[in-house]
Structure 1
Amino acid sequence: MTEYLVVSAFRAEAKYVPEGIPVLLTGIGKTAAAVAVSKALAERDTRDLVVLNVGTTGALRAGLTGLYLPSEVINHDLNAEAIRALGLDPRESLQVEGGDGTVLASGDVFVTDPVIRARLAERAHLVDMEAYGVVFACRQFGVPVRLVKHVSDSADEAAMDWPAQVDASARVLGEWLQAELT
C-alpha cells in the first residue's frame, strides 16, 4: 500500500493537507530542503513511500496561473557551465515522473528582479526555492517524488506580497491532495 509524505517549506503552504497524511516542513531553500528530506527518509522504511513536494511557485511567464505538476526541475543558481568546463557533471536538471511538462527553476534566490526573471523564463515556466533539493534527496534514496505547485505570484515585485497569497494557494494544494489521495 502506498504511503505518502507531504513536504513543504512552511506550515502555511501545508495548512490544508488532509488529516492523517504526514507533513515534513523543511524551511527555506534547497539546502534546508535536501537535509530535512534526507533525514526523514533515513529514519523510515521507504519501500512504499511517495514524496509529494507541495508549495507555492512564482510564474516566470505571462498567463501562468493555477496548479502545476512539473516534469523537470533545474537548479537555476548553480554555475553549471563552469562546472562542465572542469569536466564534471553539475546535474543541474532532474526529471520528475508524472509531471505535466512544465519546467520549474529552483534556487536560493528569491526572484523579484525583472532581468533574472526574464533569463529564467527562457528555460523554465515556474520558480521556487526548495524543489530541486527535495528531488535530489529523493533520488539519493530511490524514493519516487512528485512536485505539486500552485502559482502565488508572478516572480516580480508582487512576490513580496507572498504572505497575503499563500493561504489561497494552500487551499488549492489541499484540495488537490484530498482528490488524489483520499
Structure 2
Amino acid sequence: MSPERVLVVSATKAEAAHLPTEMPLVLTGIGKVEAATATTEAIAALRPELVLNVGTGGALRPGLTGLFLPSTVLNHDYSADAIRALGHDAVDEIGLPDGDGTVLATGDLFVTDPAVRAGLAERAHLVDMEGFAVARAAQRAGVPCRLVKIVSDAADDSALEWNAVVDACARLLGHWVREQIV
C-alpha cells in the first residue's frame, strides 16, 4: 500500500510532529467527539485504504513502556450495558487485526485517579482519549484501522507532565511509521 493511501490520524500537532510529510494527516483535537468527527470527515474526503491512529497513552499496569499496537480497543466510559438493557445495540469493544495483544481503553475522562486506574487495569493495558473513536469511525466507513500508541505516562499524576515528554514520544512514533508504512 502506498503511503499516500494511508490516512494518519493524531489528536495533536505535538504527537504528529515527526511523522512523514508525504502521508495525509488529520489532527482531530482531544477527545472522542473531536476524534470521531474529524476522522469521519477525512475518510469521506480522502477515501484511504487504511486509517492509522498514532498517539500517546497512559500505562495502566506497572512496567509497561514503549510502543504498542492494540488488538482490542474499549470505549470505557460508555454505558453500553444500560443501552443494551433498553433494547438497543451498543458497540463498546472493537477488535483490530495485526495487533500485539494489548487492550486500549478510550474515554473522555483524563485518568489520574488511582481507583479509576486500578479498575481500568483489570480490563486494559493502556488508556487514551481518541483510539476507540477513530477505530469506530473507520469501522463504520468500512476502512481497516490500526492503532499505534506510545506510553507517555503511568495514567496517574505523571500525565500532567505530558508536555515534557511528548516530543520524545512523537519521534518514536515517526520512526515507527517510517519503518513500517513508508
| TM-score after normalising by structure 2 | 0.96
Please report how far the alpha carbon of residue 84 of structure 1 lies from its aligned counterpart in structure 2 after TM superposition: 2.2
Identical aligned pairs, as a percentage? 58
- Structure 1 range deviating more: 83-92 or 3-12: 83-92
Could you say which residue in structure 2 is the equivalent of 1:90? 90
Give, in whole Å, the separation in 2 of the partners of 1:81 and 1:36. 27
Please report how far the alpha carbon of residue 5 of structure 1 lies from its aligned counterpart in structure 2 after TM superposition: 1.1
Name stretches of at least 5 consecutive residues in structure 1 with no aligned partner: none
> 1:1-182, aligned counterparts within 5 Å?
1-2=1-2, 3-46=5-48, 49-182=49-182
Matched residue SS, 1:14: coil
Matched residue SS, 1:179: helix
Please report how far the alpha carbon of residue 118 of structure 1 lies from its aligned counterpart in structure 2 after TM superposition: 0.4
Please report how far the alpha carbon of residue 64 of structure 1 lies from its aligned counterpart in structure 2 after TM superposition: 0.3
Matched residue SS, 2:143: coil
Give, in whole Å, the separation in 2 of the partners of 1:146 and 1:107. 18
Number of residues of Structure 1 aligned to a counterpart in Structure 2: 180
Please report how far the alpha carbon of residue 89 of structure 1 lies from its aligned counterpart in structure 2 after TM superposition: 2.7
| Deviation by residue 1:117-142 (Cα, 9 ceiling, x = unmatched) | 00000000000000111001001111
Give, in whole Å, the separation in 2 of the partners of 1:160 and 1:76. 21
| TM-score after normalising by structure 1 | 0.96
Please report how far the alpha carbon of residue 45 of structure 1 lies from its aligned counterpart in structure 2 after TM superposition: 3.1
Give, in whole Å, the separation in 1 of the partners of 2:47 and 2:92. 28
Give, in whole Å, the separation in 2 of the partners of 1:63 and 1:78. 28
Matched residue SS, 1:51: strand
Please report how far the alpha carbon of residue 59 of structure 1 lies from its aligned counterpart in structure 2 after TM superposition: 0.1
Name stretches of at least 5 consecutive residues in structure 2 with no aligned partner: none
| Deviation by residue 1:31-61 (Cα, 9 ceiling, x = unmatched) | 1100001011111234xx2111000010000
Give, in whole Å, the separation in 2 of the partners of 1:55 and 1:179. 16
Letter matched to residue 34 of structure 1: A
Alignment root-mean-square deviation, CA: 1.0
